[in-house]
Structure 1
Amino acid sequence: MLRAVLPSSDIFEKFRIWKLIMSTFAFSSTPELMFGLYLLYYFRVFERQIGSNKYSIFIVFSGTVSLLLEVILLSQLKDTTANLLTSGPYGLIFASFIPFYLDIPVSTRFRVFGVNFSDKSFIYLAGVQLLLSSWKRSIFPGICGIVAGSLYRLNILGIRKAKFPEFVASFFSRLSLPSLGNSTPPAPSRNIVGTISPNTGRRAEASLRSQPAPMVSSAEPSEEAIATLVSMGFDRNAARQALLHARNDVNAATNILLEAQSH
């Protein structure tokens, strides 16, 4: 009779929600750990594009929504132990594939044995490997993450405009791969399709001119690499100078421009 009066406790015990929540913080096998950490490391690029605060919102939203979807899935499949789903932050990882597909441009293309590839192909291959690592046990949480990322992209309840207090955003920034926090300063108040003021471009050029001459590459940057940086909101001339100083490395050039912008 007491159990009938406390249905919420029965549900909590039945689906072992606490176990499901804790399982998102650790991978179940070494291969999953390797591919998962690689993707988490790469997807920190979104923090540079939208800023630490909005990226923290993305982490919380994608993790919470994917967790709720997993609970609904378990209830529909009558699984009472939560063993149907593999452990790991699948919600965050696969939610990140939505902005990766829509917002990150291709910078280089190449062919291997007659098959076309791009610099994004390796990320997709790592994602497929992680998605299929435990078959159904990893496919289900991966799909939940993709749905969560799609809902964020659709700006459900205006989530993309939400912001945390700065101390909360700082906590999430340190919590999520803190070793990257010092090397990739977040971009203030702009998104991937945003614009940067002319003053920022001039500051970037001035900062680049102050760099030591030996760092400059003699090879002219490719139009694709310049277009990639321009699509992220940087001035074209500043993007070209950054690529010269970074020896045509797009990621390193992005860091140079962001550092110049923060001064």
Structure 2
Amino acid sequence: MNGGPSGFNNAPVTKTFVIASSIFTIFSGIKGGPDKLGLSYQDIFRNPRLWKLILSVFAFSSTPEMMFGLCLLYYFRVFERQIGSSKYLVFILFSVIVSLLFEVFAVALLKDPSANLLTSGPYGLIFASFVPFYFDIPVSTQFHVYSVHFSDKSFIYLAGVQLLLSSWKRSILPGICGILAGSLYRLNLFGIRKAKFPEFTASFFPRLSWPSMGSPRGATTRNVTGSAPSHAGRHRTSPAPMAPSTEPPQDAIATLVSMGFDRSSARQALVQSRNDINIATNILLEALSH
């Protein structure tokens, strides 16, 4: 199972978050080691440390956790492609802030100043993403292993369980808080699902993050008729018009299908939007809402 075409095409916010998480994890490992990561009662209430709070959002406390966590974040880029970067940025902020509030509340209830109760890493965002993953991503293939039923989604769930149990009690609590945050977003608390950042905010991320290894923006529509080189100064004022019914690229169709849309509907939406995958996604979502 995959999240559509490889790379971070149409997922600049996810790309920036993955890069930031990797940098913070490496930096924290060089500076102090994993034993200084994580949050405790003392870090929150008796001796608050802003730097430790920021690290707890981005930096993983071990290499195995980082590997599983970044793989899950990379897969969940499908949600940014589905709802758009402006709304996905709201989802990230909501998941991180709400899950962190739940964690603070849980630590306040436990009141154990000697224990490092919470592991470090973007557990809130990762496990909040499992809520739309469960409800919105359909099963495409099923198979059996010794009479046990599996699907293509099973591998994502197994990776999530591995991450949830990676630090035992210290990782279970942030994971549960993340699921609660994702559930509140799913329930559209305070109309949060309609909120989005201005478009210029989302457009800042492609310039901020490193160049994508996938096809460049705008490569989804090709000039089929332009195989021969054009000569400067000749017929510059009347470029050849594009064919009105350009066949959508297979990778664009695969992206929409991976979001749960029907293949035929995805193709029609791409034709209608002239192969603009963002417009096609909006067309399909509006059709589902009616």
- The TM-score, its normalising length taken from structure 1, stands at 0.67
Alignment equivalent of 1:132, drawn from 161, 165, 170: 165
Contact 2:60 2:121 in 1 (8 A): yes
Cα drift, residue 184 of structure 1? 9.6
1:206 partnered with 2:239: no
Cα drift, residue 182 of structure 1? 5.8
CA separation in 2, counterparts of 1:260 and 1:159? 22
SS in 2 for 1:110: strand
Paired residue total: 211
Unaligned runs of 5+ in 2: 1-41, 218-241, 282-290
1:71 partnered with 2:104: yes
1:149 partnered with 2:168: no
Alignment equivalent of 1:88, drawn from 121, 131, 136: 121
1:161 partnered with 2:207: no
CA separation in 2, counterparts of 1:174 and 1:150? 32
Contact 1:16 1:81 in 2 (8 A): no
Contact 2:136 2:260 in 1 (8 A): no
2:4 is matched with which residue?
none
Cα drift, residue 229 of structure 1? 6.2
**1:164-179 residue pairs with structure 2 within 5 A?**
164-171=197-204
Output one character per residue of 1:145-179: Cα deviation in whole Å (capped at 9) or x when no partner.
0000000000111101111122322345677x866
SS in 1 for 2:246: helix
SS in 2 for 1:96: helix
2:277 is matched with which residue?
258
Comparing 116-125 with 165-174, greater Cα deviation is found at 165-174
Contact 1:131 1:139 in 2 (8 A): yes
Contact 1:99 1:153 in 2 (8 A): yes
CA separation in 2, counterparts of 1:65 and 1:96? 13
Alignment equivalent of 2:149, drawn from 116, 119, 138: 116
**1:15-30 residue pairs with structure 2 within 5 A?**
16=48, 18=50, 19-30=52-63
Amino acid at match of 1:43: F
Cα drift, residue 83 of structure 1? 2.0
Cα drift, residue 238 of structure 1? 2.2
Alignment equivalent of 1:37, drawn from 64, 70, 80: 70
Change (3 A) 1:94 1:28: same
Q: Structure 1 vs Structure 2: percent identity of aligned residues?
A: 62
Contact 1:174 1:181 in 2 (8 A): no
Comparing 228-237 with 23-32, greater Cα deviation is found at 228-237
CA separation in 2, counterparts of 1:53 and 1:160? 11
2:34 is matched with which residue?
none
Unaligned runs of 5+ in 1: 1-9, 186-202, 216-224, 243-255
1:14 is matched with which residue?
46
Change (3 A) 1:95 1:160: same
SS in 2 for 1:24: helix
Output one character per residue of 1:95-128: Cα deviation in whole Å (capped at 9) or x when no partner.
0000000000011111122211111000000000
Contact 1:74 1:80 in 2 (8 A): no
CA separation in 2, counterparts of 1:42 and 1:60? 19
Amino acid at match of 1:207: T
Contact 1:94 1:143 in 2 (8 A): yes
Change (3 A) 1:60 1:88: same
CA separation in 1, counterparts of 2:125 and 2:162? 16
Contact 2:55 2:121 in 1 (8 A): no
Cα drift, residue 233 of structure 1? 6.5
CA separation in 2, counterparts of 1:17 and 1:164? 29
Contact 1:98 1:149 in 2 (8 A): yes
Contact 2:130 2:182 in 1 (8 A): yes
SS in 2 for 1:133: coil
SS in 2 for 1:138: helix
| Higher-helix-fraction structure | 1
